[in-house]
Amino acid sequence: MLERLIAEARAVGERAEVELTGLGEDAAARRCVDLLAEAGLLAWTVPAAFGGADAGELAGADEVSVRALCALRAELAAHSGILDVTFVMQGLGSYPLARAGSDELRARVMGVVARGERVAAFAVTEHGAGSSLGEVATKAVQTDGGWRLDGGKAFITNAGVADFFTLLARTGGEPGDGGQDGLTMFLVPADAPGLTVERFEVTAPHPIGDLSLDGVVVADDARLGDLGGGLALALATLARFRTSVAAAATGFARRALSESTAHLRSREQFGRPLATFQALRFELAEMDTRLEAARLLVEAAASAVDEGGPATAEVARAKLYATETASWICDRAVQHHGGLGVRRGTVVERLLREARALRIYEGTSEIQKLILAKELLSSSDA
């Protein structure tokens, strides 16, 4: 099944490389949704029970298969970063609903996400709450028949493109008070009065912006799960999808290695192909070995999560190693291309920019180290 998915992702990726040329971020993101939906790939971001793809032996009907997500992202990222991000956001943005939405809400939203008819986004970060989500300050106050939200969110992928946000807000306690039950998730339509988006650019094409919520009112059934269960829900969502960030990193790295190999073979200096210089051959071998190590960590983490997890250490290791390694491999590929490596439009120049943000979002490398160290120190063997 995974081989078939990879072949389908490759076909979409090859089309995207041609069809996205010259498009702005928003038009590119919308074209990506259409391409992915036409190929049926968005269905893999939603559990079968709620209108997604049947993952067979890979995952239960009410789960998204992490192995399938990883296989797809590794291939999509090798072709286009925005294609990869568009794909995964349908899952990240809708998973809190799959886990905790009412039956009516799931029936209304999940199927249209799986078919690409609505675009999803996941909004937890704030200017004052990045690595430490316990600092979330956006407030949700119960009103007659619903909730009123005030505050702001930062660095939200798909802001300006999405039709809805699954959003973490404070329903009790105070920011940073250490309480685990002061936060709740809500489904917030992008066109809700009082919600505004301020866009900005990051290093690689990626629709992103900050949200401002000024008296945004949502219905009572927009609350996802139990009151106070929002932090656990947001963390469970990240735990399900984080390994796929590592998989995307291997996709960027694989493409960079293949670009380097081709360039070193064809480019001649000092009267011979660059590939004949031992220093550069050593580097190719090092790039290949690190990439394979990253792939094995991704495979181990994805299997462990699909098999019931939580696989906290496996996921942290894979995210940390694969994303750091991808940046290193893309950087070496740039070096092998000499001046061409930094010229806008060269594939390796784009890959280096695409790979960078993966070390930051869905838990920075430092946070993965903290998670891993905590696991090591709490294990009975330590």
Ligand X SMILES: Cc1cc2nc3c(=O)[nH]c(=O)nc-3n(C[C@H](O)[C@H](O)[C@H](O)COP(=O)(O)OP(=O)(O)OC[C@H]3O[C@@H](n4cnc5c(N)ncnc54)[C@H](O)[C@@H]3O)c2cc1C
Question: Which residues have a Cβ under 8 Å from the Cβ of 330 and sit 6 or more positions away?
Answer: 252, 253, 256, 348, 351, 352, 354, 355
DSSP 122: E
Residue 85 amino acid letter: V
Cα 261 to Cα 342: distance, rounded to the nearest angstrom: 17
Rounded-to-integer distance, Cα 267 and Cα 285, Å? 18
Q: If we measure between CA atoms, which residue out of 54, 3, 24 comes closest to residue 207?
A: 24
* Crossing angle of helices 278-306 and 230-266, rounded to 10°: 150
Tokens of 134: 């316990």
Tell me the closest approach of the beta carbon of residue 365 to ligand X, in angstroms. 6
Considering the candidates 286, 362, 366, 375, report the single residue annotated as catalytic: 362
Q: How far is the CB of 327 from ligand X (least distance, A)?
A: 14
CB 71 within 8 A of CB 59: no
At closest approach, how far in Å is the CB of 160 from ligand X? 12
CA dihedral 51, 4, 39, 52 (to 10 degrees): 10
Between 105 and 367, whose beta carbon lies closer to ligand X?
367
**The token pair that represents 173 in the structure block:** 């306690």
In the 8-state DSSP scheme, what is residue 28? H
To the nearest whole angstrom, how small is the minimum distance from the Cβ of residue 8 to ligand X?
25
Q: Which is nearer to ligand X, 163 or 288 (CB)?
A: 163
Closest contact distance (angstroms) between CB of 61 and ligand X is: 27
Question: Is 104 part of the annotated catalytic residue set?
Answer: no
Find the helix or strand (DSSP H, E) in which 143 lies. strand 139-143
Please say whether the beta carbons of 310 and 374 come within 8 A: no
3 state SS of 176: coil
CB of 208: closest distance to ligand X in angstroms? 6
Nearer to ligand X, 208 or 298 (CB): 208
| CB nearer to ligand X: pick between 6 and 204 | 204
Residue 289 neighbours by CB under 8 Å, 6+ apart? none
- State the Cα–Cα distance between residues 130 and 190, nearest whole angstrom: 22
Query: Which residue number is nearest to ligand X in terms of Cβ?
Result: 130
**33, 34, 36, 42 alpha-carbon torsion, rounded to 10°:** 60
Instruction: Rank residues 70 and 123 by Cβ distance to ligand X and give the closer one.
Output: 123
| β-sheet bridge partners, residue 121 | 165
Residue (140 or 208) nearer to ligand X, CB: 208
| Least CB distance to ligand X at residue 279 (A) | 32
Write down the least CB distance from residue 54 to ligand X, Å: 27
Question: Using CB under 6 A as the criterion, which residues of the chain lie in contact with ligand X when the complex forms?
Answer: 122-125, 130-131, 155-157, 202, 206, 208, 357, 360-362, 364, 366-367, 370
Cβ proximity to ligand X: between 264 and 371 the closer is: 371
d(CA 55, CA 307): 13
Q: Taking CA 146 as the corner, what is the angle to CA 143 and CA 151, rounded to the nearest 5 degrees?
A: 75
Residue 87 is given by DSSP the state H
If the CB atoms of residues 232 and 370 are measured against ligand X, the closer one turns out to be 370
Catalytic residue numbers, as ranges: 362
